[in-house]
Amino acid sequence: MHFVCLYISLPASGLFDEKGKLLGSASSPIQIWKEGDCIEQSSTDIWHAICSAVKSACSLAKVEGEEVTGIGFAATCSLVAVDADGSPVTVSWSGDSRRNIIVWMDHRAVKQAEKINSRNSPVLQYCGGSVSPEMQPPKLLWVKENLQESWSMVFRWMDLSDWLSYRSIDSVETISE
């Protein structure tokens, strides 16, 4: 049996052999919502796009799923909100539960970043001396302060790449270890 690695880098997927030769690749569009400083995506939409791109890449490469011996994910540092069943929880003013990802470049949490930075906590030395609104702690604080119902429904906050690993195996045990 030869080595075939599936590499998923949103929104594209590629299959590579043991020498790094590209065997086939495909991509699928991903919905994005942008309203002012708020930029959101849907984990469900992303998963469907990945499945579509992987099927197309496998077809182009003439590779069966059973031949894939490794999978790697690459994604932006975006924040995913899910409930105890793994279902999406909205992070949007709209209340649309599909919109459960705060994208890395979202700047809704400027005031929360300023609030965190104003405390001059020694913890800040571990992140360059300050946090930006693109980091996850200010975004979490924003949701807590502005979407209290969503905050109370969320069972797990995950980085997008961790959520992709979780979704692919339905477990958090091997994530980031």
Q: What percent of the chain has pLDDT over 90?
A: 79
Task: Please check whether residue 105 is in contact with residue 40, taking contact to mean a CB–CB distance below 8 angstroms.
Answer: no
Average pLDDT over residues 76-103: 96
Residue 138 neighbours by CB under 8 Å, 6+ apart: 109, 110, 112, 113, 115, 116, 131, 132
Model pTM score: 0.89
Residue 143, amino acid: V
* More confidently predicted of 83 and 171: 83
pLDDT tens digits, residue range 27-62?
A: 999 999 999 999 999 999 999 999 999 999 999 999
Bridge partners, residue 26, by sequence: 13
pLDDT tens digits, residue range 64-81?
A: 888 898 899 999 999 999
Q: Which of 68-77, 91-100, 109-118, 134-143 has the lowest mean pLDDT?
A: 68-77
> Which tokens in the block code for residue 99?
């919109």
Q: Which domains does the chain have, with CATH numbers?
A: 4-169 (3.30.420.40)
Q: Which pLDDT score is estimated for 177?
A: 47
Task: Please check whether residue 81 is in contact with residue 91, taking contact to mean a CB–CB distance below 8 angstroms.
Answer: yes
Average pLDDT over residues 117-141: 96
- Give the pLDDT band of residue 5 (cuts 50, 70, 90): confident
Average pLDDT over residues 134-158: 97
